Structure formats: structure tokens, C-alpha cells
Amino acid sequence: MIQDNTTYKNSVKTISILGCGWFGLALAKKLIGLNYVVKGSTTSQDKLAILQAENIQPFLVNFTAEAIEADPAFFETDTLFICIPPKRNSIELIDYPSKISSILTSAKDKSKHVVLISSTSVYADENKTVNEASNPNPDTDSGRVVLAAEVLFKELFPENCTVIRFAGLIGPDRNPGRFFAGKNNIPNGLAPVNLIHQTDAVGVAVKLLEKQAFGRTYNACSPNHPAKMEFYTNAAKTTGLAEPDFIAEKKDWKIVESLNVPEFLGYEFEVVI
């Protein structure tokens, strides 16, 4: 159910973040600074102290396709963010939707709202612009399992299903200048890029909480789409890396745009891609 912003103003106080990795930890730190109570999960005993040092309530959570080992208190929250992308390993890929299903079952009747962090890889490179109204048609294995997880989510939470589909994530420790530095004859140099900086990825998630705009799917992608060769060459130059060499051709591309981020969140991107 899409909640009314006025009725539910300030009702979200406690946030649980399943997966305090690159994005999840950045989101947790931002929310702590905004005086939310944040519960954070990790699969590593060693990382519990790191979370605690950031004033994040630490929880050890381990999950497989068959079961989940976690303190039920972790799921007792106003909003649960599921921030665990599928692993590259083929077995992990196959198990990903089942893991999400296990997590969602644990959250049901405990978490008031659930937000699934997904990916714009659910859209194929079909040489066109896509938005939230477009039918997903993934052409990669990771895109297919991410879409399968979304479908499971909608089946279990049909009236309150919130999905954020991130474009390619860049930012601290993900310097795009390194992606193609020094490489030659890189294909598809004129294809547009679909990226989002960590600052804006966190910003979209925070704005979702502030607006209480649950129950929708959001494409989170910078509105700027420079050509691959322009963007990555500039990124390499800026960081003093060897410039890549691209083939000036445009094939197998897409432009990801969002109708819902500006309309329902009113979010303005901070980082120009």
C-alpha cells in the first residue's frame, strides 16, 4: 500500500540494513547522522565491531537458499533495506532468488516496510530509452536473477513492494578511471553510460524515507548519459591513469531514465556524471 505522506510523517525511526557493504554502510552512516536508529547486518564476526564503532546496532546474519540464521529483532523495524547483490559465482547466482525469498519470509509481519535494492540490469540493451513503465527484459544472468527476486518480492508483498533499481555504482573505492585504463580497441565507445554516484544512491534512499513514498519501483540513475568513450577517457585523465582507446561505434545500448524519482521523491542529483 502506498502510504500518505502527511499521515505517516516522521513514523519511520528505525531502519534495518541487510548487507552493510559498499552501499549499505554508506547509507547507514548517513542515517545515523540524521538521527535514525540503524540496525546493520554482516556475515562476518570481525565486522561487528566496525558497525558498532559507527553507532550502528550490529547483527550477525547468515543466509542460504534453505534457511536464515539471525536474531528476529533485526527484522523488527520500520523499514528494512535488502542490500545484497547477487555474487558472480554461478551457484550463488542460481541461489539468489531463493535467498531473497528466505529473507522476505523472515521480514514478513515484522518489518513495516521493505525496500529491495535491485539493478537496472533488468533492462536489456535494446537500443532505446527505458523507464519504470518499460517491461524488464534482462539479457544477462545477473539481470535475470535480480528480476526473479523482484517478482518474488511482489508476490510476498503485493501491496507494499518498494524497489530501487540502481544503475552502475561509482564513488569511493570505485574509481571509474580504472575500469578501462590503458586498454585498446574497446568496443561500443559511443554508447551512453548509465551510472549513479554513491552520494546520489544514498540520497535517493534517504529521500524515499523522508517522503514515505513506499510502494513503487524507482530507477536510480543519473540523468546525464555521456558516451562511454568520453566519460571513461575523462575519468582516466582526471586520476592520472593511462587513457583508454575506444572504437567510435554505437551498438547494444540503452538509456535508463526515471519517471518516479523526480515525480514522487523530488530528488535532485548532486554529482554530474
Residue 55 lies in a domain: yes
Read off the CATH number of the domain in which 52 is found: 3.40.50.720
Q: What is the pTM (predicted TM-score) of this model?
A: 0.93
Give the integer Cα–Cα distance in Å for 123 and 117. Answer: 15
Confidence of residue 32 (pLDDT cuts 50, 70, 90): very high
Q: Is residue 161 part of a domain?
A: yes
Determine the Cα–Cα distance for residues 250 and 189; give it in Å rounded to an integer. Answer: 7
Specify if 181 maps to a domain: no
Please give the Cα distance from 118 to 136 (Å, whole number): 12
* 36 Cβ neighbours under 8 A, 6+ residues apart: 12, 13, 14, 15, 209
Q: Tell me the C-alpha distance between 1 and 148, whole Å.
A: 21
The answer to the question of residue 92 being in a domain is yes
In a domain? residue 186: no
How many domains would you assign to the chain?
1
Question: How far is 267 from 273, CA to CA, in rounded Å?
Answer: 16
Residue 185 lies in a domain: no
pLDDT at 93 over 90: no
Residue 159 main-chain phi, psi, to 5 deg: -100, -5
For the stretch 35-88, pLDDT in tens is 999 999 999 999 999 999 999 999 999 987 677 789 999 999 999 999 999 887
Q: Report the 10 Å Cβ neighbour count for 206.
A: 18
* 187 assigned to some structural domain: no
- Domain carrying residue 45: 14-172+196-224+255-265
- Name the residue among 117, 144, 142, 146 with its Cα closest to residue 218: 117
Evaluate whether residue 88 is within a structural domain.
yes
